[in-house]
Amino acid sequence: MKKIVMASVVSVLSLVLAAPLLADEPATQTNSFGMKFVRVPPGTFTMGSEEPKCPDDDPKTPVNERDDCRSKTLRANETPAHRVVISKGFWIGQFEVTQAQWEAVMSTNPSRFKSDKQEEREKLPVENVLWDDVQEFIRQLNEKEGKQYRLPTEAEWEYVCRGGKNETFCGGNDPKPLAWFVDNSGMRPQYIGTKQANGFKVHDMSGNVWEWVNDWYGRDYYLQSSEADPQGPAEGEQHTIRGGSWGYDMIFARAANRGGNIAVRRCGCVGFRLVDPE
């Protein structure tokens, strides 16, 4: 009996130690441009999606039942589900970078949905930016702040999105209280932080605008991804975007969804948030 109890205790402890420790109110910090960051502890999570249980194809029907099932449940680039270790804590933007914050650093506003009102620019996410534009923004911001801000890796992004849980969207299984997507957005970006936060108290990781991450996009990268702190492919043709947006169906706002094919052109549906590494 003692051996059984001890084994159970060890098993529970291993699960607790592997999962991120979530505080009711995480530590926060705000820079001189008003960008608020929350601290994310190190931890382990399952990245990607499991293969769905789909029926075999019936050759007697005109529809391929297996392919039809898979197309409605996930995209091939989300598999296989795999264990990822985030070995170091970091700080991530609680909100997407706003038009006003971009203007304060760059003295321009590239957004397609820009506002003439300062109070609105302080609430609307900057969008219509390419990955290279964001790198120049980061370079100038780091010079002004004396920091080493960067985009999150794809693994860091999904780790934060999931918030210590295995849910469909970033903060739950129902997208309506969490995300701005095609059915509720009015076909434009909405004010940051007006939807419910996730487990790490981060807003808008599902929906509103797609978010750039640091990694090159690799459709089959999960087949060779390292377990500890994956950085993405060594090279590629385009970088990865995550989270879905105001102009897309809610299926694109899922935690596991990966994007890359629209990332080579400007779009009023693509923005970003930053990471401040420890």
pTM reported for the whole predicted model: 0.87
**What is the predicted pLDDT for the residue at 65?**
75
- Residue 71 DSSP label: H
Q: Is 151 exposed, middle or buried (0-12, 13-18, 19+ CB in 10 A)?
A: buried
pLDDT at 4: 42
Q: Is the dihedral of CA 88, 93, 96, 98 positive or negative?
A: negative
Dist CA 258 CA 108 (whole Å)? 29
Give the whole-angstrom CA distance, residue 152 versus residue 94.
Answer: 13
Q: What Cα–Cα distance (Å) separates residue 187 from each residue in 98, 106, 150, 180, 197?
A: 18, 27, 29, 9, 22
Domains observed in the chain? 19-48+85-277 (3.90.1580.10)
pLDDT of residue 20: 62
The answer to whether the beta carbons of residues 244 and 184 sit under 8 Å apart is no
Contact 123, 98 (CB under 8 A): yes
- pLDDT for the residue 55: 80
- Outline where 146-259 has alpha helix (H): 154-162
User: Cα(147)–Cα(45) distance, rounded to whole angstroms?
Assistant: 28
For the chain, 278 residues long, give each residue's pLDDT as a single digit of tens. 444 444 444 443 443 445 565 557 889 999 999 999 999 999 999 999 987 777 888 899 998 877 766 555 567 899 999 999 999 999 999 999 999 999 999 999 999 999 999 999 999 999 999 999 999 999 999 999 999 999 999 999 999 999 999 999 999 999 999 999 999 999 999 999 999 999 999 999 999 999 999 999 999 999 999 999 999 999 999 999 999 999 999 999 999 999 986 656 899 999 999 999 99
H helices, E strands: number in the chain = 6, 10
Least Cα distance to 212 among 166, 149, 165 occurs for 149
Round to whole Å and give the CA distance between 53 and 58. 15
Please state at what angle helix 99-106 crosses helix 131-145, rounded to 10 degrees.
Answer: 70
